[in-house]
A and B are shown apart, each in its own frame.
Chain A
Amino acid sequence: MKTIILKTASTYLLPVLLLFSIFILLRGHYLPGGGFVGGLIASIAYVLHAFANGLSNTKNLLKFHPGFLMPVGLALAFLSGMAPLLFDMPFMTGLWYPEALPVLGVIGSALFFDIGVYLVVIGVTLTIIFTIADTI
């Protein structure tokens, strides 16, 4: 699609949407949101960019194949689940850093699990959509 309005808008929307996805990701522990929704929003950002600027430009922007995010995210989620084992607690027990950090708030191992989910969702969604877009 070659409309100058969409092209210009998508350049600005990409960082905004990515920031928003991170906001949704962080918000997700007690409120609606979380890694899955955040990941979807982040992939929407890239899909929109691909619509406006063409798939090859978006691929250049990403620098690596989105499929690579899947094992990375899975590994992160796996490690966050494994961490409590070091403290002799069952798998996936929530570990919390006692003091609240500025902006982020209280951080625990659940956050890293959610970041893992976030990365996996981006990886899967973009791989699927890019593959479909490639074959059309």
Chain B
Amino acid sequence: MTQQLVIYPLLLQLFLSIILMFSWSKISWQRVISIGGGFINIAISIWLFVYIWNEGIQTVQAGNWAAPFGITFVADSLSVTLVLLTAISGLAVSAFSASSIVVARLKFGYFPIFHFLLLGLNGAFLTGDIFNLYVWFEIIIISSFVLITLGGEKAQLEGAVKYFTMNILASMIFLTAIAVLYGLTGSLNMADLSLKVAAIENRGLVEITAILFLVAFGIKAAVFPLYFWLPASYHTPPSAVSAIFGGLLTKVGVYALIRIFTLIFVGDVFLQDTILVMAVLTLISGGLGALIQNNLRKVFSYLIICHIGYMIVGLGLYTEVAIAGTIFYLIHDIVVKTNLFMVGGLIYRITGTNNIRSLGGLYKEYPLISLLIAIPLFSLVGIPPLSGFWPKISLITAAFTAENWWVIGAILFASLLTMIIIAKVWANVVWKDKVELPKRLNFRYFDKMTNIRKTQLVAPIIFLSLISLYIGFGAEHVQQLSTRVANELIDNQQYIDAVFKTGQNIKP
């Protein structure tokens, strides 16, 4: 049973999608299946997490073909952490979408596609084969195309075209890079590639291949010169969709960058400097971009870009402390960003708009909800002891050790920008006097909803806020986890050994 545990999260999501497709027109069933499945998914992910924590890296050879010939699924600490976070965000978003997405959209298969998206995310985190990673990326982007266009509003289609174009381009570059890498080494298994790439003498060619990967994943992760598609498209779909996009999709790009640049292309000074420059520029430009926006979800979109910078910084510094900071930030960011977009959706349901200027008076009307919203907002800024504070310590320490003052400056500057932006959002949305807006016809306002629907909107936000609080107050545990992940990533021999010691799994 436990031997195959690594792929259970994948199988569960596939199973859920199939069941949901069978109940295509029964929306009320779909809601129940999706939320119930979310709970089972969390249970399985915790089981997997605990198992990996105790037993070390585990692998499954799909189809019983031994590595490096078959497709290997590898669960190391980084993968299982991300699978667990996917499960947590997935549950929150499926509960949130059960109430916030209109039935007309749900009827066109929102939930099955949503679970296909989660399948793709889990697959990307667990696979140990670079071509298989490409396939999971395809599953992710195909599902996200459907989710982003579902409903077919004009603004949505405009956003979708940009999103589609950039992602297809990224996939093409990714595929080209895989082809070049396969030509160089004759292998696709990442552990095998790690050994073979290190042995290649033509370093120039290796560097160019690495740059191709950097561009491909850079587009997906939305780093500095390649991010412009993100703010153009993330505010167009319903907030539940933006929540899962903002929380997890860009992080898959970051995950792929971390995986590739700690396992396959290691120890190249030129690459690390490039990554650092990109990271610093991402931090600054994302923050400055957010400063001038007035649409709440556009502000959050720019903040995604800004905070991707923190994760890439750690990768560029490439020390154990820096990588631990990156991982901690990744954990914190997935939870908080998912939550922020849901908060945006909740505010939209309450007031009917997302424009900061016409919002206001939330504290007078809903004091408890305002306090709830404060948790993700201030976690994002990183006011100690909330969750955003701790990873920055690791990152600044690492930059200080490397005597890289530019990086420290950028980290602090981006934190300052984030604080100004969040203060602006807080003052405008919560504290400012209420602006009287004309009531929209045919719009389901929050106060007109039934209690179950209200709970489905607020409970996921409470749930993720609690997790944020845990990350902040239980920072010791998360730091321990991040250090362990960083240790595994730096000492990548553990990963390679785990992939190749699979003799006991294979039966004649």
Contact = CB atoms under 8 A, between A and B. Distances in A.
Contact of A75 (B3, B4, B18): B18
A59 B7 CA distance: 39
Given A74-B21, A88-B3, A93 B15 contact: no
B18 A71 contact: yes
B61 interface: yes
A91 B4 contact: yes
A89 B65 CA distance: 11
A90 B21 contact: no
B21 A91 contact: no
B63 A82 contact: no
Contact of A78 (B15, B24, B61, B63): B15
Given A93-B64, A94-B63, A85 B4 contact: yes
A92 interface: yes
A90 B67 CA distance: 13
B507 A89 contact: yes
Contacts of B507: 89
A93 B15 CA distance: 18
Interface in A93-124: 93-94
B95 to A, nearest CB: 24
Nearest to A73: B18
A70 interface: yes
Nearest to B64: A93
A91 B126 CA distance: 14
Nearest to A65: B24
A75 B22 CA distance: 10
Q: Which of A74, A84, A88 has the most CB of B within 10 A?
A: A74
Nearest to B3: A88
A89 B64 contact: yes
Interface string B495-508: 00000000001010
B18 A78 contact: yes
B11 A82 contact: yes
Contacts of A89: 64, 507
Q: State which size class the interface on B falls in.
A: 10 to 19
**Consensus secondary structure, chain B interface:** helix
Contacts of A88: 3
B4 A90 contact: yes
A78 B14 CA distance: 8
Interface in B8-34: 11, 14-15, 17-18, 21-22, 24
A91 B63 CA distance: 6
Interface string B38-67: 000000000000000000000011111000
Contact of A71 (B11, B22, B64): B22
Given A70-B21, A74-B21, A91 B15 contact: no
B3 A91 contact: no
A113 B11 CA distance: 15
Nearest to A110: B63
Contacts of A75: 18, 22
Contacts of B7: 91
Nearest to B112: A71
Interface string B400-428: 00000000000000000000000000000
Contacts of B18: 71, 74-75, 78
B62 A91 contact: yes
A88 B507 CA distance: 10
Q: Which of B3, B18, B24, B64 has the most CB of A within 10 A?
A: B18
A90 B11 contact: no
Interface string A20-32: 0000000000000
Contacts of B24: 67, 71
Contacts of A78: 11, 14-15, 18
Contacts of B4: 85, 90-91
Nearest to A75: B18
A82 B11 CA distance: 9
A70 B24 CA distance: 11
A95 to B, nearest CB: 10
Nearest to A123: B21
Interface string B473-508: 000000000000000000000000000000001010
A84 B7 CA distance: 13
A70 B21 CA distance: 8
Contact of B62 (A74, A82, A90): A90
A94 B18 CA distance: 22
Given A71-B22, A75-B18, A93 B63 contact: yes
Contacts of A82: 11
B15 A92 contact: no
Contacts of B15: 78
Contact of B63 (A67, A71, A85, A90): A90
Nearest to A67: B24
Contacts of A94: 63-64
Contacts of B21: 70-71, 74
A71 B21 CA distance: 6
Contact of A90 (B14, B17, B22, B64): B64
Contacts of B22: 71, 75
B15 to A, nearest CB: 7
Given A89-B507, A90-B62, A93-B64, 20 more contacts: A67-B24, A71-B21, A71-B22, A71-B24, A74-B18, A75-B18, A75-B22, A78-B14, A78-B15, A82-B11, A88-B3, A90-B61, A90-B64, A90-B505, A91-B4, A91-B11, A91-B62, A93-B63, A94-B63, A94-B64
Interface of B: 3-4, 7, 11, 14-15, 17-18, 21-22, 24, 60-64, 505, 507
13 contacts: A67-B24, A75-B18, A78-B14, A78-B18, A82-B11, A90-B3, A90-B60, A90-B61, A90-B62, A90-B63, A91-B4, A92-B62, A92-B63
Q: What are the 5 closest A-B residue pairs judged by CB atoms, nearest first?
A: A71-B21, A93-B64, A92-B63, A71-B22, A74-B18
